[in-house]
Every structure is written in structure tokens, then in C-alpha cells.
Amino acid sequence: MAYKVILAETDIHRVLDRIAHQILEKTQGAGDVVLLGIATRGVPLAQRLAERILAFEQQPTPVGTLDITLYRDDLNRHSTRAVGHTELPTGGIDGRRVILVDDVLFSGRTVRAALDALSDLGRPAAVQLAVLVDRGHRQLPIRADYVGKNIPTALAEQVRVLLKETDGTDEVRLTEGTPA
């Protein structure tokens, strides 16, 4: 299938640096921040953001993983999925600023599921959203606080994020086809 590269490896690094700087600016140093990566590709993105924040601020940022499988509203439309792993950092999320991290923001339904899952895990002081790509076409009133790149797309196009940790390469591709 033919595709167009929207972000190459160096672009992804630059975008993550920018998001890390924005997080530091908006949170006055990220002292109360917890990064929760939404499985699957949000997890390595959250880890990378924590590494960049550490490099800029010399302060570790707790990172966790959030599996939203059981909170999705499309479970009956898709084949059975294996339930993933949710892991909160030491100290939990109560009273902290939680930044949910995901690869692509599309309809908003994944983020809604993440918010539902989060409410079962604790009570954060605030919840924000960081995404590598915002492709538009929202079905729910959800907006990211930190966006790597806005990519206007047609509904018939698909944005595919590839990361070294999961796919062996860093790249964001735009292809024709049914959105995931």
C-alpha cells in the first residue's frame, strides 16, 4: 500500500522535545506530573517524554501504563482482545497532574475510555492529554493539551504511527484506507 511519510525519525524526536518543553512550561517544572501512556504506542511515547523531561530538568517524571481494553465502547464490534496491563507509578495518581499520552487523536473515543479507566484508579488533581498526531474528525468534545503535529485528513485516510519500540522504526505515515 502506498503511503506518504508525514513525520520521519528526526521529526518525531523534535516534536517530542517540543512537547516535553511545553509540559515543563505549563506545569512549572513537572514536579507533580505523572505520565500515563495509553497502550500500545502511547506507552513508549510517555517513556520518551519522561526521558526528555529528565534531560531538560534533571528531574525524573513517573511513568505508568494504562490499558483501556475493558472501557472501550466498541468491544462488541471487534474480535476479542487480550486485556493488557495497567501499571501506576509508585505513589499513584491521587492529587497529581496526570498527562495521558497517546499516538493519534482521532474520534476521541480512546481518550474517553482512558478517562473512564482513570476514574477507577484514583482521583488526579488534573488530567491533560498529549498526542503525537491530531488528525481531526472528533466525535466527542475532546481536545489535546499538547499536540506534536496537526494533520488534516480525509475520513478515507489512515494515520499510522510506527515506533522503534513496537515496530522497529520511527515514522508517521498517511495512507489511503479505512481508519483504525
Per-residue cell: 9: 525519525
Residues 146, 131 contacting (CB under 8 angstroms): yes
CA–CA separation, 114 vs 39, rounded Å? 10
Residue 178's pLDDT is what? 61
CA atoms within 13 A on the CB side of 35: 30
CB within 8 A of 14, min separation 6: which ones? none
pTM of the model: 0.94
CA–CA separation, 112 vs 118, rounded Å? 10
Radius of gyration of the chain, Cα coordinates, nearest whole angstrom: 16
Residue 44's pLDDT is what? 98
Which residue ranges form the domains of the chain, and what is each CATH number? 3-176 (3.40.50.2020)
CA–CA separation, 143 vs 180, rounded Å? 19
Residue 77's pLDDT is what? 66
Residues of the chain predicted below pLDDT 50: none
Residue 72's pLDDT is what? 83
Residue 119's pLDDT is what? 95
Report the run of H or E that residue 25 belongs to, with start and end: helix 9-26
β-sheet bridge partners, residue 104:
133
